[in-house]
Chains A and B, each alone.
Chain A
């Protein structure tokens, strides 16, 4: 059976999608086009003069070992944030799904962190882990561990990953919980009667049936880790120590808004744009095949 809406008027469908198209054009295509245009120039900050340099901004970037290192940092950061936030969310969702009494309270509490703005989340974690004032730093010191993310790159990365993932757990939790609740109980009960353990039921029935949700969340979380974690990095580490938490999107900001180097910053945006585009294509082509709808 084919589902097909028939419009009698030729223009009506265009009119109906026009608002969405307009939003996309104004807020995506226009700035993206400007970024591409600007990436070919070397302008002065005030816009008084500019020099056409072709692809030189890109050559400058790709010849800079620190920029290339930032790709690796971004990859490590994004994978950790995505895996951690999705893993924890799935675990909590499975637990919350089984709770009978007071499930509303658990759910509300678990969703709460999503209401926290990234910058605020960053500051919260920073206070707890501040090398000289933090509560958790103090406890660690009592137990004999000297936490100093200001100088230790691994600790700095751990901290920004935890803060970024923590904020995203709520969002993932909601989707996982909804996904779990839409799985027919009869299938699970049948397996239980056949003697399948909880773990076995989870891995052979629940997890595959959850795959559309998992796939959707994977795309959303990768985009989150790439772009929206900016505020967390900005408040906690500012990209340091050394360049250990300098992710690509933070470098766009640092070079463009702090350094006033708009040409390089635009070129970085363009590179990032293509990178995320490629990543999304890969996800849809290769991972989606394994998704059962």
Chain B
């Protein structure tokens, strides 16, 4: 009975909406979310569409991040681009370089005369998508940062104190030894190795990943992650891999399944992995800040984000841009952001949303969820920790994955692999520099 009622209601609403759609301005948004994230995104659109009758946002799923970016680029070439395109952080430099294809968010807000306060956004989130002179180019949508997930039961079983200090890699290393000794088969695994163990590692230790402020200050940047800090960490991980203390599961987040199944004791993964762990883990788990090396003078600095932002594409009508601006303002409002943050584990993109979440008691009920935000905000970002802005970055990550795999399998030592990755990556950066002129 209720199902039927819901159906009738849904049909009526849809009917009304389509009726309204003829009068309202349609705005297209291409995104990369499916499953639960897709549902939550659709809910945001619904809320916005219901809240006013001037504009109708239409969301379309275009595949994964790479496929969505591709679809947007292909559509632009065919002059059928959407108004808004979700682009992952790796594509930032590509979008920035496409000056005629995009409308920067600060310009959009200026032109449409909407209220917009860039200072409301978390510095470390906004920084990734902002020019060196402080102009916001795209609106951060889903941002996360890596943290350490701990299986407390596994620590207890190995005779360790589950609440032991794990803030440094030295301490984690000692715990790995104890786990291994007690016969644990998967002491440590990771997701997104390049993002966590090289990119974020650099920011966290205030060491450059690339020259020219990691590419923020110009496309003539060169990779720099073959320095002593990065190499030391990768060598340590390589040694752990050799001893069976670090288990490599794959380039993406394949390790997640093993951690959630209780097979692995430690897991470095995005804060957005929280929802999955909470849902599936049948053991006592904790979230800890990403470890750093005690010997590093400037660590911990701050970690950087991953995820996607919304780019506004060029070539549309003024009244449509007014709708886009209104929608972006809606997305960055505290209520929407606080809900998004609590539902997904992504960071709240504004300081107000973080404050609201705290006020609502979410952090008290879900200990550990505040760590990602703290990691990003306790120190003001430096040139090494604002983010990364490198062309052909998706390919460079591919190269890094290949070279890291050579370290994990024992084919190369860390210095050799990182030197090779830097050399191969620089060749791509030079090509990008020329094509972006």
The complex places the Cα of A46 from the Cα of B435 at a distance, in Å, of 11
Would you call A47 and B249 a contact (CB within 8 A)? no
Shortest CB-to-CB span from B393 to chain A, Å, is 9
Shortest beta-carbon distance from B137 to chain A in Å = 15
Residues of the A chain whose Cβ atoms lie less than 8 Å from the Cβ of B251: 238, 240
Chain B residues near A44 (CB-CB < 8 A)? 97-98, 435-436
Residue B134 interfacial (CB < 8 Å): no
Q: How far is the CB of B374 from chain A (nearest CB, A)?
A: 32
Question: A241 vs B249: C-alpha distance in the bound complex, in angstroms?
Answer: 11
For residue A242, CB closer than 8 A to chain B, the reply is yes
**Within A1-56, which residues are at the interface with B (CB < 8 Å)?**
42-51
Q: In the docked arrangement, what's the CA distance between A240 and B252, Å?
A: 12
Interface status of B58 (Cβ within 8 A of chain A): no
Contact B73 A150 (CB under 8 A): no
List chain B residues, Cβ under 8 A from A257: 66, 70
B4 within 8 A of A: no
A122-153 interface with B by 8 A CB criterion:
131-133, 150-153
Asked if B431 contacts A60 (CB within 8 A), the reply is yes
Asked whether B132 is an interface residue with its Cβ less than 8 Å from the other chain, the reply is: no
Q: Given the complex, which residues of A lie within 8 Å of B258, measured CB to CB?
A: 132
Q: Is the CB of B249 within 8 A of A132?
A: yes
CB–CB B405/A48 < 8 A: no
Residues of B contacting A66 with CB < 8 Å?
Answer: 424
**Chain A interface, >50% SS class:** loop
* Nearest CB of chain B from residue A42's CB, rounded to whole Å: 5
Q: What 1/0 mask marks residues of chain A from 173 to 214 whose CB sits below 8 Å from any chain B CB?
A: 000000000000000000000000000000000000000000
| Cα of A238 to Cα of B66 in the assembled complex, Å | 13
Query: Nearest chain-B residue to A262 (Cβ)?
Result: B435
Chain B residues lying within 8 Å of A260, measured Cβ to Cβ, are: 69-70, 73, 94, 392, 394
Given contacts A261-B428, A261-B431, contact A242 B395 (CB under 8 A): no
Of A47, A151, A258, A263, the contact of B248 (CB 8 Å cutoff): A151
Which residue of A is nearest B102, CB measured?
A46
Q: Which of B241-259 contact A (CB under 8 A)?
A: 248-251, 254, 257-258
A-B contact count (CB 8 A): 94
Give complex CA distance A236, B38 in Å: 25
* B405 A133 Cβ-Cβ under 8 A: no
CB pair A150–B254 under 8 Å, yes or no, is yes
A48 near B100 with CB under 8 A, answer yes
Q: Which A45-87 residues have C-beta < 8 A from chain B?
A: 45-51, 60, 64, 66
Consensus secondary structure, chain B interface:
helix
Interface contact B254-A261, CB-CB below 8 Å:
no
Q: A51-B434, A152-B409, A259-B392 known; A46 and B402 CB under 8 Å?
A: no
How far is it, in angstroms, between the C-alpha of A44 and the C-alpha of B437 when the chains are bound? 9
Assess whether B101 is interfacial by the CB under 8 Å rule. Answer: yes
Q: Which of A43, A48, A150, A258 has a CB less than 8 Å from the CB of B99? A: A48
Check if B263 is an interface residue, CB within 8 A of chain A: yes
Closest A residue to B250 by CB, please name it.
A150
The answer to whether B98 and A255 touch across the interface, beta carbons within 8 angstroms, is: no
- Nearest-neighbour CB distance to chain B for A142, whole angstroms, equals 15
**In the complex the two chains form, what is the Cα distance from A260 to B436 in whole Å?**
12
- Taken residue by residue from 228 to 248, chain A's Cβ proximity to chain B (1 for < 8 Å, 0 otherwise) reads as 000000000011111100000
Q: Knowing A46-B76, A51-B434, A132-B249 are in contact, say whether A151-B392 is a contact too (CB < 8 A).
A: no
Please indicate the chain A residues that have their CB under 8 angstroms from the CB of B257 in the complex: 132-133
B101 x A46 contact (CB < 8 A): yes
Q: If A131-B249, A151-B409, A240-B401 touch, does A261 touch B98 (CB 8 Å cutoff)?
A: no
Distance to closest chain B CB from A283 (angstroms): 33
Report the bound CA distance from A46 to B257 in whole Å: 37
Within 8 Å CB of B254, what residues of A? 132, 150
Q: Are B98 and A46 in contact (CB under 8 A)?
A: yes
| Chain A residue at minimum C-beta to C-beta distance from B101 | A46
Q: Is the CB of A258 within 8 A of B395?
A: yes
Does B406 count as interface, using CB distance less than 8 angstroms? yes
What 7 new A-B contacts, CB under 8 Å, besides A64-B427, A151-B409, A242-B403? A46-B100, A60-B431, A66-B424, A131-B249, A151-B405, A241-B402, A242-B405
